[in-house]
Amino acid sequence: MEILGAVWNYLIPFLVIFTVVVFVHEMGHYLIARRCGVRVEVFSIGIGTEIFARTDRHGTRWRIGAVPVGGYVKMRGEMQPLPDASGPARQAIAGTEEKDDDSFETKTVMQRALIVAGGPLANFVLAIVLLAGMFATLGQPYTPADVGEVLPDSAAERAGFQPGDLITGIDGTRIERFEEVVQVVQLHPATALEFRLIRDGRQITLTAVPDIVDRRDRFGNPMRIGRLGISRGGGDTKLVRHDPFTAVWRATGHTFSLVGSIFSSIGQIIDGRRTTEELGGPIRIAKISGDVWQTGFLGVLTFVVLLSINLGLVNLLPIPMLDGGHLVFYAVEALRGRPLGAKAQEFGLRLGLGMVLALMVFATWNDLVQLRVIDFLVGLAT
């Protein structure tokens, strides 16, 4: 019964959420490929043995694989697909396929780059559309960025914050909502931040270094955050609904803000301010999927936004096998006036495959440790 409960509460939500995000990613590749005149031979959700398929009038075989994780788009002129963060590599090795007019490899460098970038772009568009829909219907949380209380012996007190201060900017970025202050501070533990304030009608500048706090989020995942030590005295938080244009504009800005936050977190992991415990793999994604599934529709939409942005960014990493790696190949081709040789491309793809697999193994091991699966297995053996 526990196994059935885990399948129902975690595996199924994970498959539903991840499949939606992957479908949108691959649809981005598909739509731009068709627009550029490339024949798409296969559009697959899932990998492995085909359990359902149909071929449309354009000759594209739409299929569902037996292993419901990932997906891929196979275009004419490509090599056989190999798995990457969302599906296959879509890089043809020069000279290994016949080159017809509707072949991927007959297209210009710019067209091929657009096709490859179409997947991550679609993930960002999905995030913007979902956020815009929420901002237009439910509203965007809005709380004035004023200081109600300064906690004793906190980073804010050491920096000179006072009750009544209005925060208008952090490190040159305009601040409108208290939620933005919380987001920036939490993402920058032990990092000097320059705050622009309005105090008694005068504009002043303070520099604060948020304290480091190790905690777990509401789903039990470890996280390291920054804490400034201020709170608001008022209860005037409200949801502001925007017209469609403003909602899209705000959603785009929020998406770019999330992208910046993710890059900042990665940089802090590299320089040691954050631990690698925060890196999660498929097991943790499945756990969070099940947890947010229980919170309701809004929680699921919010998680889809975050997962879609993360998938788009991961695929843009300059690693051969990933979309970003292929964009690097095309940049080199544009500079050289000719593509890299077949051996160089093949070596890059194999190297990229090794890097992706190593990252997946590390993230999965991290999941097993953080979710105490390893401790459980050790306990069974002793």
- Chain-centroid distance, C-alpha 339: 30
Candidate list 2, 26, 105, 157, residue with the active-site label: 26
What contacts 37, CB < 8 A, 6 or more positions away? 101, 102, 107
Q: Are 323 and 118 in contact (CB under 8 A)?
A: no
Strand, coil or helix: what is 100?
coil
Take residue 141 and report the two structure tokens written for it.
Answer: 């949380």
Q: Alpha-carbon distance 54 to 114, whole Å?
A: 27
CA distances from 302 to 127, 246, 278, 316, 375 (A): 9, 19, 19, 22, 32
Q: Alpha-carbon distance 371 to 379, whole Å?
A: 14
Strand extents, DSSP E, the chain: 40-55, 61-75, 140-142, 149-150, 166-170, 173-174, 193-199, 202-208, 211-216, 222-227, 230-231, 238-240
What contacts 229, CB < 8 A, 6 or more positions away? 150, 151, 154, 155, 156, 157, 211
Take residue 119 and report the two structure tokens written for it.
Answer: 């997947």
Q: Alpha-carbon distance 280 to 310, whole Å?
A: 11
Backbone φ, ψ for residue 64 (5° rounding): -120, 125
- Chain-centroid distance, C-alpha 65: 24
Q: Is 278 a catalytic residue?
A: no
> How would you label 208-220 residue by residue, b for 16+ Cβ within 10 Å and e otherwise?
bbbbeeeeeeeee
List active site positions: 26
